């Protein structure tokens, strides 16, 4: 059993995905138990490894469903970032001029309850169930495995847009894909001369650290990949996660973290300080502190924007500059990430906070007065 537990494929095959399985590990509250009886907007699953950490209340609240997520709060949307309006191919979102988001899977080994893409992740369809249909594309690329055929329209789009320099591969979690598929996918992207930066967004080192094998690290190093990792609390820095990140660092793989600001979970200065210093100690640079996106059913997770600004200001000058991320709002509707340093950047209009993005265009974020 101990040998199996340390195998990442065993972890995925033995994910906890039902209330009955979860209750073998922890005692559920009435609210949590009731959430499983209704139609949940997001699938439930947690790896056996991460389930061991759920004795910590902060982590528990981020992965175990409650009835709150069935309630739609003020200004909440299924697609809060307007990704569908910027979908260039069935697998590609093109919002920024020089960056694209390449969605390669809808699968995660563990589902976070505040997930921005809860409309699609964990669903038994292939990213909206669409089929590539770009006219003139070859039906089969010589030497390309069948596993990459569904991405051909996306590769073609990137090739035809020389302004694209940065490709962020996400989903779902790309690091749950087999080594051979990842290797071929990354090779195909690296064939495109104008692509200078390739990133992978993942929570695997946290929820599935045994996936970080020497073989995977070699692939990531070969293709000069940066990892954008998702951490929300120092309680996630298990010995296995620390070992995984140090292995990635030993292979020369750059890592940054993206932390979502969550009410009652990490919305106090000391909790953030503990996390950010803990990340630096395993060579992960704190990059973003993200205001929680207004996805449907997330109101109970969201702090006020004013509190977020106060928190980031409490860090500046009081801890190492390396430990301080940017506090950002991802502007609803596809305006991109907007760094906030002070309240002078925002104004209130009823239940909304209004601010300008990098193009000087006005955007709104739902922030009802408490």
Please check the confidence at residue 39 and state whether its pLDDT lies above 90. no
Our CA dihedral for 31, 36, 38, 39, rounded to 10 degrees, sits at: 130
Q: How is residue 301 written in tokens?
A: 């997770």
Is residue 237 over pLDDT 60?
A: yes
- Please determine, for residue 127, whether its predicted confidence score (pLDDT) is greater than 70: no
Q: Check whether 329 has a pLDDT greater than 50.
A: yes
**List of domains in the chain:** 2-129+149-366 (3.20.20.70)
Helices (H), 75-212: 152-159, 179-190, 204-207
- What is the chain's mean pLDDT, rounded? 93
* Count of C-beta atoms within a 10 Å radius of residue 322: 12
* pLDDT score, position 369: 83
Q: How confident is the model at residue 128 (pLDDT cuts 50, 70, 90)?
A: very low
Confidence of residue 137 (pLDDT cuts 50, 70, 90): very low
Residue 125 has pLDDT above 80, yes or no: no
Strand partners, 339: 328
How far is residue 52's CA from residue 48's CA, in Å, rounded to a whole number?
7
Q: How confident is the model at residue 2 (pLDDT cuts 50, 70, 90)?
A: low
pLDDT at 230: 98
Q: Is the pLDDT assigned to residue 140 strictly greater than 90? A: no
pLDDT band for position 318 (50/70/90)?
very high
Percent of the chain with pLDDT over 90: 90
The Cα 39–Cα 301 span in angstroms is 20
Beta bridge partners of 349: 352
Provide the pLDDT for residue 146: 78
The predicted pLDDT at position 139 comes to 47
Tell me the pLDDT band of 135, cut-offs 50, 70 and 90: very low
Report the C-alpha gap between 353 and 174 in whole angstroms: 34
Strands (E), the chain: 87-89, 92-93, 99-103, 166-170, 197-202, 225-230, 255-261, 285-291, 326-331, 336-339, 347-349, 352-356, 362-366
pLDDT for residue 293: 97
pTM exceeds 0.95: no
Distance CA 54, CA 206 (A): 13
Question: Using one digit for the tens of pLDDT, what is the confidence trace for 50-107?
Answer: 999 999 999 999 999 999 999 999 999 999 999 999 999 999 999 999 999 999 999 9
Query: In this structure, are residues 282 and 243 in contact, taking their beta carbons and an 8 Å threshold?
Result: no
Residue 296, token pair as written in the block: 């449907």
Mean pLDDT on 307-312: 98
**C-alpha dist (Å) from residue 354 to 321, 331, 338:** 28, 10, 12
Reported as a single tens digit per residue, the pLDDT across 246-270 is: 999 999 999 999 999 999 999 999 9
143: left (phi over 0), alpha (psi -120 to 50) or beta: left
Contact call for residues 343 and 307 (beta carbons, < 8 A): no
What band does 3 get if pLDDT is binned at 50, 70 and 90?
Answer: low
């Amino acid at each position: 059993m101990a040998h199996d537990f340390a195998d990442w494929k065993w972890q995925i095959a033995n994910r906890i995905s039902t209330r009955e399985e979860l209750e073998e590990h922890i005692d559920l509250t009435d609210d949590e138990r009731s959430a499983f009886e209704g139609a949940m907007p997001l699938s439930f699953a947690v790896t056996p490894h991460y389930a061991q950490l759920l004795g910590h209340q902060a982590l528990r609240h981020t992965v175990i469903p409650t009835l709150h997520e069935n309630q739609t709060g003020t200004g909440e949307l299924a697609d809060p970032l307007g990704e569908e309006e910027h979908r260039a191919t069935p697998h590609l979102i093109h919002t920024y001029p020089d960056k694209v988001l390449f969605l390669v899977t809808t699968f995660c080994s563990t589902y976070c309850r505040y997930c921005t893409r809860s409309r699609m992740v964990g669903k038994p369809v292939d990213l909206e169930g669409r089929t590539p249909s770009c006219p003139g594309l070859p039906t089969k690329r010589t030497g390309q495995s069948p596993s990459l055929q569904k991405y051909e329209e996306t590769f073609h789009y990137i090739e035809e847009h020389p302004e694209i320099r940065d490709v962020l591969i996400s989903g779902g979690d790309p690091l749950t894909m087999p080594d051979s598929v990842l290797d071929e996918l990354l090779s195909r992207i690296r064939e495109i001369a104008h692509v200078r930066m390739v990133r992978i967004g993942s929570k695997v080192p946290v929820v599935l650290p045994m996936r970080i094998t020497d073989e995977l690290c070699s692939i990531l190093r070969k293709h000069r990949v940066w990892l954008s990792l998702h951490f929300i609390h120092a309680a996630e820095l298990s010995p296995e996660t620390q070992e995984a990140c140090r292995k990635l660092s030993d292979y020369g793989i750059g890592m940054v973290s993206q932390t979502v600001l969550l009410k009652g979970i990490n919305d106090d200065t000391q909790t953030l300080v503990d996390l950010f210093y803990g990340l630096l100690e395993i060579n992960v640079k704190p990059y973003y502190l993200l205001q929680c996106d207004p996805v449907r059913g997330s109101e109970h997770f969201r702090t006020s924007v004013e509190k977020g600004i106060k928190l980031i200001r409490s860090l500046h000058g009081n801890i190492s500059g390396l430990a301080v991320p940017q506090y950002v709002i991802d502007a609803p509707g596809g305006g991109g990430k907007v760094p906030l340093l002070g309240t002078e950047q925002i104004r209130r209009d009823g239940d909304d906070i209004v601010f300008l993005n990098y193009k000087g265009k006005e955007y709104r974020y739902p922030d009802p007065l408490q």
